[in-house]
Amino acid sequence: MEGILPLFKPAGLTSHDCVFRLRKILKTKKVGHTGTLDPDVTGVLPICIGKATKVAEYITDAGKAYEGEVTIGYSTTTEDASGETVEQKPVTRMIDREEILHVFQSLSGEIEQTPPMFSAVKVGGVRLYEYARKGIEVERPTRKVTIYSIELLDDRFEFIGETIKFKFRVSCSKGTYIRTLAVMIGEMLGFPAHMSYLQRVQSATYTLEDCLTFEEIENHMQAGTISGVLRPLETAVSHLPKLLINDKVAEKVKNGALLQMPDHLKTINGPIIAETDDGLALAIYSEHPNKPGLLKPVKVLRNNVD
């Protein structure tokens, strides 16, 4: 069994819980997820099966899109609805649509974020949430992330009340904390805030429309049709620059050979997919660190032993 299974992750399960459950349903151990989603978060979680586990990192590194809700008026320990209240400040003035849009514009592009204490980031070899559970506050590394777009989904023109809520959609880079983004939105409006709802609607090329529930996956297993809903490994790397190769070169690629860097890829810094004319992904290459003009294989996806 090989391919990408876009799972609709329900609330209440960790990403690891989903992998554990799918190993039982699919009756295979070679199953991996493509980036942690908090238990309360629902939505797109691409699952890699069999040989496709080799490309999990390229899905993880690709952009994501979320739809969420910000609640303005109080903050929480976890920066989402599951935490205890930290600070309350009633919204005593009207906040209009233009003010929110101005904040969104200010948060677009490259921004800096400090991961929340309740997160999986490691400091000193220990995950932050382990410190947080013990009541220990540690210095956290600030990271740069990119907000490609952020839009207001609520069509109201005025927002008023002791607490106010509005929904948004954001497209962002790997490593962006949407919980922290919600807190930042509140701070820029002058009030404590938290993320009260979140759903991932896209991960790399996979969207909500592609996703299957656990029940649907079980039904396909029982009917013997599971292979028909698995996405090819190639869909996980379709966003990468391509180097098309002929059959003769393909045999060399399967054995991990170095390749000449073609002119049209000389400005590419990241990974490149070596692909046959009929669309079969054979290996991931990158610029050779010591030999100018050559490409070095990072990962062979298919070889003659497979």
Instruction: Answer whether residue 117 is part of any domain.
Output: yes
Q: What does the pLDDT read at residue 89?
A: 95
Q: What does the pLDDT read at residue 65?
A: 97
Looking at 180, 203, 226, the residue that finishes a domain is 203
Instruction: Answer whether residue 180 is part of any domain.
Output: yes
* CATH number of the domain within which 104 lies: 3.30.2350.10
pLDDT range class, residue 37, cuts 50, 70, 90: confident
Looking at 182, 203, 224, the residue that finishes a domain is 203
Amino acid at 255: N
Same domain, 185 and 72: yes
Same domain, 73 and 196: yes
Helix axes 97-106, 178-189, angle to 10 degrees: 120
Same domain, 259 and 156: no
Instruction: Answer whether residue 192 is part of any domain.
Output: yes
Instruction: Answer whether residue 130 is part of any domain.
Output: yes
Same domain, 103 and 186: yes
Pair 301, 283: CB distance under 8 Å: yes
Same domain, 106 and 39: no
Same domain, 173 and 196: yes
Instruction: Answer whether residue 305 is part of any domain.
Output: no
**pTM, full prediction:** 0.88
Q: What does the pLDDT read at residue 144?
A: 93
Same domain, 55 and 73: no
Q: Is the pLDDT assigned to residue 128 strictly greater than 70?
A: no
Same domain, 122 and 248: no
Pair 297, 249: CB distance under 8 Å: no
Percent of the chain with pLDDT over 90: 65
Residues carrying an active site annotation? 38
Same domain, 108 and 148: yes
Domain of residue 222: give its range.
3-62+204-235
Instruction: Answer whether residue 136 is part of any domain.
Output: yes
Mean pLDDT over 148-177 rounds to 93
The mean pLDDT value of the chain amounts to 90
Same domain, 42 and 125: no
User: How many distinct structural domains can be found in the chain?
Assistant: 3
What pLDDT digit, counting tens, does each position of 102-124 carry? 999 999 999 998 876 666 667 77
Q: What does the pLDDT read at residue 147?
A: 97
Same domain, 199 and 210: no
Looking at 192, 218, 235, the residue that finishes a domain is 235
Mean pLDDT over 152-161 rounds to 90
Instruction: Answer whether residue 269 is part of any domain.
Output: yes
Q: What does the pLDDT read at residue 77?
A: 87
Same domain, 70 and 90: yes
* CATH number of the domain within which 258 lies: 2.30.130.10
Instruction: Answer whether residue 306 is part of any domain.
Output: no
